[in-house]
Amino acid sequence: MQRLAEPHPGPVPFSVEFYPPRDEQAEARLWRAVRIFERMGPAFVSMTYGAGGSTRDRTLRIVGQLARETTLLPVAHLTAVGHSVDELRAMVGGFADQGITNILALRGDPPGDPLGEWIKHPDGLEYAEQLVRLVQELGDFNVGVASFPEGHHRAPDLDHDTRYLVSKLRAGAQYSITQMFFDVDDFLRLRDRVVAADPEQGAKPLIPGIMPITSLASVRRMVELSGSVLPANIDKRLAAAAGGGPDEDREAVRAVGIDLATQMAQRLIAEGVPCLHFCSLNFAKATSEVLERLGMNVMAA
Ligand SMILES: Cc1cc2nc3c(=O)[nH]c(=O)nc-3n(C[C@H](O)[C@H](O)[C@H](O)COP(=O)(O)OP(=O)(O)OC[C@H]3O[C@@H](n4cnc5c(N)ncnc54)[C@H](O)[C@@H]3O)c2cc1C
């Protein structure tokens, strides 16, 4: 990821994750967020890819627009689920046609029930490592992969999880971005495991995924769907802020969420991470507030 090494405002570079909007109103919101972040100088922005290709056209169109119409460096997520190798080749070709050279290569989860049984497409790929190799065969791409501070929920144990991540890096991935997590120790232990397993691969950027929480109900749902955990002490703090009423007190939850994200980011910066990757949910406000508290929001300076 070339731009991680370039000059940046603040103690470390940051990046932002977006997802393809479903309708015009959501798309307008995305572009408002994009324009705000653009002025803050992220190292890159990434665009997710819906399960089984459900957002294929939107992901392709929007990363293309990001490449052509903004100064941002777009990274396109691509998942193997539900696609034959020929379809994956066509997708990669489509990204190249849009001027996209940065791809995050993922296996993806089963569509419908992300925790359900994984079934490989009969003419497709089994693991992200194979997608890393395929993308590289097709051109001069800069490839990243996913990593999991708590271990991937389908991995038998942390040793296997580490070994598979190292295999993806050895296959040519240049960096990894983690699943969002809430316990910095989990991230640091992952980093130690990768360095111990293979110092050369461990030297590649391991980028922490951070989500400033703005709703208890949604973070609980997201965590459940991704097979990870919300630590009990954090759930308790958020639940206390949410209150006991029928609707959660969003302002109070948000305040706790922003505090948590800021404290995590401060510790990660002190631990020397190469970049902070923010899951923005297509909103700029919460992430900007965290960046401001970190002294990384050039707009607030
Ligand atoms: C930063 C980030 C971005 C993401 N973006 C998206 C997105 O845009 N769209 C989307 O649908 N999903 C996305 N995901 C979710 C991701 O697709 C799922 O978590 C998926 O279950 C794992 O993907 P992977 O690329 O890590 O798969 P893999 O690395 O292939 O791993 C899948 C499972 O197989 C195991 N495994 C790997 N290699 C081997 C092997 N050689 N032998 C045996 N077992 C093996 C792993 O331990 C793991 O349990 C993202 C995740 C992250 C962290």
Predicted pLDDT of residue 6: 81
**299 in any annotated domain:** no
**220 in any annotated domain:** yes
Predicted pLDDT of residue 300: 65
Give per-residue pLDDT as tens, 217-246.
999 999 998 888 899 999 999 999 999 888
**1 in any annotated domain:** no
| Residue of the CA atom closest to atom 38 of ligand 1 | 164
Give per-residue pLDDT as tens, 144-199.
999 999 999 999 999 999 999 999 999 999 999 999 999 999 999 999 999 999 99
Predicted pLDDT of residue 66: 98
Ligand 1: lining residues by beta carbon, under 6 Å: 48-49, 51, 77, 79, 106-109, 127-129, 146, 152, 154-155, 160-161, 164, 167-168, 177-179, 209
| Residue of the CA atom closest to atom 18 of ligand 1 | 108
**176 in any annotated domain:** yes
Greater model confidence, 260 or 110: 260
Predicted pLDDT of residue 158: 98
**128 in any annotated domain:** yes
**Catalytic site positions:** 17
Q: Would the pLDDT of 298 be above 90?
A: no
Instruction: Choose among 69, 3, 56: nearest CA to 30.
Output: 69
Top mutation candidate among 54, 113, 130, 152 for ligand 1, by most atoms within 8 Å of CB? 152
Question: Ligand 1 centre from 66 Cα, in Å?
Answer: 25
214 pLDDT band (50/70/90 cuts)?
very high
Predicted pLDDT of residue 7: 78
Predicted pLDDT of residue 287: 97
- Total domains in the chain come to 1
**301 in any annotated domain:** no
Predicted pLDDT of residue 301: 58
CATH for 264 = 3.20.20.220
**184 in any annotated domain:** yes
Q: Would the pLDDT of 14 be above 90?
A: yes
Of the listed ranges 13-17, 190-194, 293-297, the least confidently predicted one is 293-297
Q: What angle do CA 278, 58, 291 make, to 5 degrees?
A: 15
Q: Would the pLDDT of 41 be above 70?
A: yes
Q: What is the per-residue DSSP string for 205-265?
A: -EEEEE-----HHHHHHHHHHTT----HHHHHHHHHHH-SSSS--HHHHHHHHHHHHHHHH
